[in-house]
């Protein structure tokens, strides 16, 4: 699949933000531990969710999907045996680790393969789980976790890993005494997982702070929960407005969870006007100002997932900006592709210097990961001429209906199938040169 985008247009209108990918994935995994019926609303229709649902179905659980409402009945007995190819489709099956340990007392998972962002180690997950009493071995390339029992107590994360915090929170509900977690991740998705688990009957508090307190239980009940909206999708469409010199209104937008992106855009001269707690109007200035330095940090710092999005917005700012990527060791996959559009970006280690240019031009580019792909869409929308973006399956993993949402605000974008791309668009692009 490919996107063909004709840039240079002012956009206008309203974008409805979808449910959060990074909140719904651990929550879907956590439905395994309740053994009850869970009704989840505001689930984004994205391929990562589809893959997770396929895994839950493989476990034998009854799942129904009705638009953005997903119902999971995990009352059936099952075993955590999932074929490798099914797990690998999700890219990172590690989100199931805590739920398998809790529900089944053991887990056998293939370690997350390295992805475009780097190695994606899981040492922090395994370190805390082993301290809690999980026996960890490796068999036939699989990580095997077996736990006769999980001990209550106080545990500390060496780094506030989002996935490790989620896995330990879910596993800890099976412990033999209260669990205190220190230095956990504080991302809004952690708070949403806590709120879901509380809705299902768990006694958890402190998510979003430096200390999470968990009173273990095996008694859950049916529940209905609405997943929080996606703060990174919100940042994406804020960047679209800023980069294309447009005015856009975003609804269902969790503005309080994306304050660092708002602050960065305001420093660039963008007007971010809250209308309601979850509605915001973003008005771009005629000329964007550069940013001295933005450093990605664990929440509440500037989110690494918004780094590529902000970079795309800085491409035409009047002057030089600097971004430092502190979270992932390889999260500049978008740079070489943006340079094909005329961007002037220089990367030295984890620091990128972006020198604004007056004009970007359309090009044939390749999405290398989810947010890098979104960055290319933003740049293509403000470039002159046509761009063809390959490998948009990366984008489809995490953005619901991106093409429809962009078309609705006036963007000239279309999804091309393989055959369409071979005939029409490449000629169009060649005509441009
Ligand atoms: C989650 O990934 C998100 N994914 C990522 O979003 C996000 O970028 C990341 O958190 C940081 O906010 C989901 O929620 C599905 P981490 P996760 O564990 O849990 C290192 C997107 O674009 N680390 O906080 O994998 C790790 O290598 C995706 O939506 C260890 O060294 O992130 C990385 O450098 C991309 N050992 C850093 O910590 C470990 O055991 C942050 O990882 C675990 C992590």
DSSP string, 330-344: T--TTHHHHHTTT-E
Quick one: 106 exposed, middle or buried, by C-beta within 10 A (0-12, 13-18, 19+)?
middle
Cα–Cα distance for residue pair 220/239, rounded to 1 Å: 41
Task: Give the least confident one: 90-104, 273-287, 290-304.
Answer: 90-104
Distance from residue 385's CA to the centre of ligand 1 (Å): 36
- Which of 171, 192, 180, 209 lies closest to 94 in space, CA to CA? 171
Nearest CA to ligand 1 atom 25: 163
Catalytic residue among 43, 115, 145, 228: 115
Length of the chain measured in residues: 433
- Which of 143, 134, 140, 63 lies closest to 102 in space, CA to CA? 134
List pLDDT tens digits, range 93-129. Answer: 899 999 999 999 999 988 776 567 777 789 999 999 9
pLDDT value of position 227:
98
Cα–Cα distance for residue pair 52/109, rounded to 1 Å: 14
List pLDDT tens digits, range 46-92. Answer: 999 999 999 999 999 999 999 999 999 999 998 888 888 888 888 67
Cα–Cα distance for residue pair 65/377, rounded to 1 Å: 29
Cα–Cα distance for residue pair 188/282, rounded to 1 Å: 22
List pLDDT tens digits, range 157-196. Answer: 999 999 999 999 999 999 999 999 999 999 999 999 999 9
Overall average pLDDT of the 186-208 stretch: 98
Task: Give the least confident one: 41-55, 137-151, 294-308.
Answer: 137-151
pLDDT at 424 over 60: no
User: Could you give the C-alpha distances from 404 to 3, 42, 216, 230, 407, in angstroms and in order?
Assistant: 12, 18, 44, 17, 5
pLDDT value of position 433:
45
Helix extents (H) in 298-417? 307-314, 335-339, 370-382, 393-396, 402-408
- Which of 89, 83, 13, 9 lies closest to 50 in space, CA to CA? 89
pLDDT value of position 308:
98
Mean pLDDT of the chain: 94
List pLDDT tens digits, range 311-362. Answer: 999 999 999 999 999 999 989 999 999 999 999 999 999 999 999 999 999 9
- Which of 283, 285, 293 lies closest to 320 in space, CA to CA? 293
Q: Which CATH architecture has domain 21-226?
A: Alpha-beta prism (3.65)
Q: Ligand 1 pocket: which residues have CB below 6 Å?
A: 21-22, 25, 118, 120-125, 159, 161-164, 185, 187, 189, 304-305, 327-328, 370-371, 398
From the alpha carbon of 23, which atom of ligand 1 is closest? Answer: 14
pLDDT value of position 417:
81
Overall average pLDDT of the 23-42 stretch: 98
Cα–Cα distance for residue pair 412/380, rounded to 1 Å: 10
Q: Which CATH architecture has domain 2-17+229-432?
A: Alpha-beta prism (3.65)
Distance from residue 92's CA to the centre of ligand 1 (Å): 10
Distance from residue 162's CA to the centre of ligand 1 (Å): 6
Domain spans of the chain, in order of start:
2-17+229-432, 21-226
pLDDT at 426 over 90: no
Extract the tokens encoding 134.
Answer: 């999980």
Distance from residue 290's CA to the centre of ligand 1 (Å): 28
Please provide the distance, in angstroms rounded to a whole number, between the alpha carbons at the two ends of the chain. Answer: 23
pLDDT value of position 140:
84
Cα–Cα distance for residue pair 91/112, rounded to 1 Å: 7
Whether 115 sits among the annotated catalytic residues: the reply is yes
- Which of 85, 124, 131, 87 lies closest to 107 in space, CA to CA? 87
Share of the chain above pLDDT 90, in %: 86
Nearest CA to ligand 1 atom 16: 161
Distance from residue 276's CA to the centre of ligand 1 (Å): 31
pLDDT at 431 over 60: no
pLDDT value of position 93:
80
**Ligand 1 pocket: which of 26, 113, 188, 327 to mutate (most atoms within 8 A of CB):** 327
> Residue 219: what are its φ and ψ, rounded to 5°?
-100, 105
3-state secondary structure 167-187: HHHHHHCCCCCCEEEECCCCC
Neighbouring C-beta atoms of residue 293, cutoff 10 Å: 10
Got the DSSP string for 137-166?
A: EEETTEEEEE-S----EEEE-SS--HHHHH
Cα–Cα distance for residue pair 65/32, rounded to 1 Å: 17
Nearest CA to ligand 1 atom 43: 122
21-226 and 2-17+229-432 share a CATH fold: yes
């Amino acid at each position: 699949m490919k996107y063909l985008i004709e840039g240079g247009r002012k956009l206008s209108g309203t974008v409805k933000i979808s449910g959060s990918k990074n909140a719904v994935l651990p929550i879907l995994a956590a439905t395994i531990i309740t053994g009850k019926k869970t009704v989840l609303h505001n689930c984004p229709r994205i391929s990562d969710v589809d893959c997770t649902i396929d895994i839950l179905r493989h476990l034998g659980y009854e799942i129904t999907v009705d638009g953005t409402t997903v119902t999971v009945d995990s009352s059936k007995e099952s075993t955590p045996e999932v074929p490798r190819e099914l797990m690998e489709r999700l890219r990172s099956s590690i989100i199931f680790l805590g739920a398998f340990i809790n529900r089944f007392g053991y887990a056998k998972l293939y370690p997350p393969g390295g992805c475009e962002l780097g190695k994606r180690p899981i040492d922090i997950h395994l370190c805390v789980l082993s301290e809690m009493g999980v026996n960890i071995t490796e068999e036939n390339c699989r990580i095997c976790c077996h736990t006769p029992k999980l001990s209550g107590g106080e545990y500390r994360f060496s780094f506030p890993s989002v996935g490790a915090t989620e896995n330990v929170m879910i596993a800890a509900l099976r412990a033999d005494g209260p669990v205190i977690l220190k230095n956990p991740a504080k991302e809004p998705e952690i708070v949403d997982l806590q709120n879901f688990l509380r809705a299902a009957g768990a006694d958890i508090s402190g998510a979003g702070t430096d200390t999470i307190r968990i009173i273990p239980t095996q008694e859950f009940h049916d529940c209905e929960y609405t997943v929080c909206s996606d703060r990174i999708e919100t940042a994406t469409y804020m960047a679209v407005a800023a980069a294309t010199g447009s005015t856009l209104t975003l609804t269902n937008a969790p503005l309080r969870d994306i304050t660092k992106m708002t602050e960065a855009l305001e420093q660039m001269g963008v007007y971010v006007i809250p209308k309601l707690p979850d509605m915001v109007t973003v008005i771009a200035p005629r000329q964007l100002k550069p940013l001295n330095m933005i450093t990605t940090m664990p929440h509440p710092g500037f989110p690494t997932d918004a780094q590529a999005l902000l970079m795309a917005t800085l491409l035409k700012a009047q002057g030089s900006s600097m971004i430092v990527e502190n979270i992932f060791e390889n999260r500049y996959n978008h740079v070489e592709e943006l340079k094909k559009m005329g961007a002037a970006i220089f990367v030295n280690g984890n620091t990128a210097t972006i020198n604004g240019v007056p004009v970007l031009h359309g090009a044939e580019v390749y999405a290398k990961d989810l947010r890098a792909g979104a960055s290319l869409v933003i740049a293509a929308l403000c470039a002159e001429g046509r761009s063809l973006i390959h490998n948009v399956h990366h984008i489809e993993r995490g953005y619901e209906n991106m093409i429809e949402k962009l078309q609705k605000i006036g963007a000239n974008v279309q999804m091309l199938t393989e055959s369409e791309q071979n005939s029409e668009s490449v000629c169009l692009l060649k005509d441009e040169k």
